[in-house]
Homo-oligomer: A and B are copies of this chain.
Amino acid sequence: MEMDPQQKRAALRAINYGLYIVTATHGGQTAAAGVNWVTQASFDPPLVVVCIKPGTETHDLALESGGFVVNVVGADQIDVAKSFFRPTVVEGDTLNGFTFHTSPVTGAPHLVDLPYWFEATVTDTVTTGDHTIIVGQVVGAGVHDDTVEPLVLRSTGMNYGG
């Protein structure tokens, strides 16, 4: 039986997501990308899954360095997120114009304007599909503003899925 592509798309787009800026640093290079295919995957050890397209700089630096940072975009921060849909520009202590601090374990940047971040070291990858399923153990985390609600991607009218 053939699967109806429109029903498949509608059903997969019914998965709810937030929006995250994933960063990675290796060999003096830093990249950042907007990503929404993110989930926790274990409590102990704390694991997360992040799915990123091969060939993107963030993907390659995450795998080469063995680590990455996930920055959570807040409910009213879609404009911040959109600035990371363009190529990454590092100038001084800013990333695409937004101030960052260096995360202690991975050395990848976390953005001080975004409310929550965590860093992870890569434990497993699955390369069956057109994105790499990167499993990482959470080794650092921080809160810049715990009053901010995370963005629900659906509320923006944008989606990445289907």
Which residues does A use to contact B, with CB under 8 Å?
1, 3-4, 7-8, 10-12, 14-18, 20, 37-49, 51, 72, 104-105, 115-118, 123-124, 126, 128-131, 133, 135, 138-143, 146, 149-154, 161-162
Contacts and interface: CB of A to CB of B under 8 A. Distances in A.
A117 to B, nearest CB: 6
Contacts of A72: 11, 14-15
17 contacts: A1-B104, A1-B105, A3-B140, A8-B118, A10-B141, A15-B18, A15-B150, A37-B39, A39-B39, A41-B49, A41-B51, A42-B51, A42-B131, A47-B128, A49-B49, A49-B133, A124-B126
B45 A129 contact: yes
A72 B15 CA distance: 7
A39 B17 contact: yes
A12 B118 contact: yes
Given A49-B49, A135-B128, A161 B40 contact: yes
Contacts of A118: 8, 11-12
B8 A138 contact: yes
A116 to B, nearest CB: 4
Given A15-B150, A43-B131, 11 more contacts: A10-B116, A11-B142, A12-B40, A12-B138, A14-B18, A15-B48, A16-B17, A16-B152, A39-B49, A126-B126, A149-B154
